[in-house]
Structure 1
Amino acid sequence: MIHHQEYSVLVVDDVADNLLLLQLVLEMEGYRVELADSGAEALSKIKESPPDLVLLDVMMPEMNGLEVTQCLRKSRELSLLPIVLITADRDIDVDQALAVGANDVINKPVDMDDLLARVGNWCPAT
């Protein structure tokens, strides 16, 4: 296992099984993981204690991942926070995600090796 304890990742998804799976995979790699099941909860947690990276589901009720990303990009203190969008919507492409301020996009179903590689781009091993 590569140790990443100094890196925190906030995983945001409205589906509990998705949250738990991503938490398990990331914690097995040594990341500190926080969970949020809505856009509003994510914004609250980020403002309270910004993580090193946000893995953010796009399709959520009330406030979707694109809207959360836009809110974060409007905040001077959080404007550089790395955000990776996760989506099952094939109509969301990298260009659209980048236009709202995301740093990357991962399509569902999530390939865990790809996920870990992309997380590692933002939270490299020490």
Structure 2
Amino acid sequence: MHYIKTSNSRRILVVDDLPDNLFLLQTLLEAEGYEVETADSGKAALTALQNCPANLVLLDVMMPDMNGCEVTQQIRQNQQLSHIPVVLITAFDQVDIKEGLSVGANDFIRKPVDFEELLSRIKIFF
């Protein structure tokens, strides 16, 4: 899979059902110069991507209604969005990584998020 890199496109959509997690990631990423949009559910994430596609999605796995794997699958099935890289974020040690990768996730990060590791992984996509 190829990623389109543009010099001024540094938009990241952060998706998590916990407001504190959204605030923390948004604050840290904006301090690094990224443009950050947040969504508090899978449905809100898909709507945000339709309205203004991001260059990367950081997506919590465990959310009510629609989990991160289901959101990833919907992104991959939408021709307008399918090129967007998705990094799944999880607090669980026993997450089925194969399931996430099989539905199209590009990478996984474990919670609590190591910010230096997160930044190094994000740079791969920009």
TM-score w.r.t. structure 1 length? 0.91
Deviation at 1:96, TM superposition (A): 2.7
2:74 corresponds to: 71
Task: Confirm or deny: 8 A CA contact 1:73 1:79 kept in the other structure.
Answer: yes
Deviation at 1:32, TM superposition (A): 0.2
Q: Which amino acid aligns with 1:7?
A: R
List alignment gaps of at least 5 residues for structure 1.
none
Task: Confirm or deny: 8 A CA contact 1:93 1:105 kept in the other structure.
Answer: no
Residue 13 of structure 2 corresponds to residue 33 of structure 1: no
How many Å separate the matches in 2 of 1:117 and 1:94? Answer: 20
List alignment gaps of at least 5 residues for structure 2.
1-6
Q: Which amino acid aligns with 1:38?
A: S
1:107 pairs with 98, 106, 110, which one?
Answer: 110
What is the root-mean-square deviation in Å for CA atoms of aligned residues? 1.3
1:92 corresponds to: 95
Identity of aligned residues (%): 54
Deviation at 1:93, TM superposition (A): 4.4
TM-score w.r.t. structure 2 length? 0.91
Task: Confirm or deny: 8 A CA contact 2:61 2:67 kept in the other structure.
Answer: yes
2:45 pairs with 34, 42, 47, which one?
Answer: 42
Residue 60 of structure 2 corresponds to residue 60 of structure 1: no
